[in-house]
Structure 1
Amino acid sequence: MVTKSKEVPTATLLISCPDQHGLVARVVNFIDANGGGIVHAAQHTDVDSSLFLQRVQFELDSFKLKREEIAPAFDKIAEEMNGSYTLHFSDRPKMAIWVSKQDHCLLDLLWRHRSGELPGEVVAIVSNHTTLQPIAQQYGITFHHIPITKDTKIQQELKALELMAEAGVELIVLAKYMQILSAENMARFPPTINIHHSFLPAFAGAKPYHRAHERGVKIIGATGHYVTADLDEGPIIEQDVTRISHKDSVSDLVRKGKDMERLVLSRAVRFHLENRVLRYGNRTVVID
């Protein structure tokens, strides 16, 4: 493998196919034959399904194929492997953060973005309230106030999605956006990551900290997952936990939980932006 240079553009292949002999060699030979230098390569085989999953990142500066030629050229190999793949480039993808009134996840993401920790560009903040508009102004990010009611949800979501399309948004992050996205519009959303304040599948839905306190649990956690039409059932990207005790009140759980939410959401977003997440069924493999 070659050493990655920050200035050199790269491409990343995320591949899934039935496990079979010679898969790694086929991919490596394709890249080598076209003059590419491999920056990172890792794979995993799901034993239960015999599914092979691979991430390969390679440099483009000396690659013989133009960007638009890579996918058509790799299609034949994917067909031979009876597999599927996605191709990503190292350009900074555009993302939007959707919020309601809580600011802890938003501020954490914006700080990490400003410090260069998140390899993406925040182009919009969307909210059903105006509470966090001053934060958007402070960071110089476009703020869209789109109020939501039970009767206007579908229409207002479509309005928001139109704005996302106009801005070229490739990822939506629900950073404590306290609204359930409508199933009717789900297919229109780009990849969307949500932070849920429990260690799923435990305490899905509303008020998990209250329910955890009532149950007397000894750990609480947070879950970063992709959003699907099924509430809190999407493929999990990242999770973490922290210990609590009988001395902790609900407010203590909320305070400790917010720390977990910040960390877990930022990791999930970074893994996605770095093209490290392979989805299959309702599961993910995150390749580090």
Structure 2
Amino acid sequence: MAPNVLKLACPNRRGIVATVSNMLFEAGFNIREAAQYDDHETGQFFMRVAFDGSGARADLEARLGATEKHFQMTSSLRFDKRPQRVLVLVSRFDHCLADLLYRQYVGEMNMQIAGVVANYPRETFARLDFDGAPFHYLPITKDTKKEQEKRLFEVIDETEADLIVLARYMQVLSDEATERLAGRCINIHHSFLPGFKGARPYHQAHARGVKLIGATAHYVTGELDEGPIIEQDVERVSHGDTPDALVRKGRDIERRVLARAVRYHIDDRVMINGPRTVVFPD
């Protein structure tokens, strides 16, 4: 069973770890896992604590409130062990969607795919078993973008989605949409950012004769492909690889990078630190 998780951030000073540990102990909880990071550039301190025990949540919340005030701290506390509800947005390429469906099927991650949204019809994904997840066909054109996003947010509300995943969803969200989804929308970009942003990055990489290709999972912001990076990976290529070969190899990287990023997020292992992230891997 997933543990309770406390995440916190505050200006760094002495006594934070001792105070938090003692707070959990006095509230009747046991620490199962703890990780911390001190950002020397900004002076900010980040901490993630996984814990269990028979203590009362109300008592812990009261103690946490006093701790937050003392250390000028922001925190999040999750006692909810239910699977995170994930809404997957996809376009024509379905390899990342297929991978997430499989990982849900084998119980690899504490998530439930609450729905699939695509700007291509269901027939495009005929070979995939959605395992009961509802499919929403939301076509989009330049003239219907505003109406399509309005319907998208209706779906997000209807499915009670905790996390939105752009699994090779080849549409740029509006500034209004990225603001509403801040911190809970992950995109997989088929490039090792910050290089080769935008469209056809593998073709850009081939034209430059790169020796490494990669993929990047990041939170979505109003700046295209500029959001805080959660996870990346690379694979070596050679001068003999065609653009199609790079695309084929890139699909494998994209799948594993997106899966790790989603898992880190739903396990509360990611904290946003300005334009960057702090990730506490397992």
CA RMSD of superposed structures (Å):
1.5
Q: Check the 8 A contact 2:23/2:60 in 1, yes or no.
A: no
1:274 and 1:179 map into 2 onto residues whose CA distance is 27
**What does residue 260 of structure 2 align with?**
267
Residue 139 of structure 1 is aligned with which of 128, 131, 136? 131
Counting only pairs closer than 5 Å after superposition, residues 70-219 of structure 1 correspond to structure 2 as 70-89=60-79, 90-130=81-121, 131-134=123-126, 138-189=130-181, 191-219=184-212
| Code of the aligned partner of 2:214 | G
Distance 1:172 1:226 in 2: 10
Q: Distance in 1 between matches of 2:120 and 2:242?
A: 29
CA deviation map 1:2-51 (0-9, x unaligned): xxxx3xx6321111111100000111111111100111111011111121
Residues 33 and 222 of structure 1: is their aligned pair in 2 closer, same or farther, counting only changes over 3 Å? same
When structure 1 is superposed on structure 2, of 147-156 and 275-284 the one drifting more is 147-156
**Residue identity in the other structure for 2:112:** E
Identity %: 46
Unmatched 5+ stretches in structure 2: none
Long gaps (5+) in structure 1: 1-5
Q: Which amino acid aligns with 1:98?
A: L
TM-score (norm 1): 0.92
Cα distance 1:158–1:212, how it changes in 2: closer, same or farther (>3 A)?
same
Alpha-carbon distance between aligned partners in 2 of 1:166 and 1:30, rounded to the nearest angstrom: 38
2:232 aligned with 1:242: no
Q: Secondary structure at the match of 1:253?
A: helix
Q: Deviation of residue 73 (structure 1)?
A: 3.8
| Secondary structure in structure 2 of the residue aligned to 1:101 | coil
Residue by residue over 1:66-113, the C-alpha shift from the partner in whole angstroms, topping out at 9 and shown as x without a partner, is: 4xx644541221121112111223321111100011111010111011
2:11–2:71 contact (8 Å) kept in structure 1? yes
**Distance in 1 separating the partners of 2:25 and 2:221:** 38
CA contact (8 A) 2:119 2:140 kept: yes
Q: Which amino acid aligns with 1:287?
A: F
CA apart distance, 1:138? 4.6
> What's the CA shift string for 1:163-212, capped at 9, x where partnerless?
11121101001001010001122222261000000000010111110110
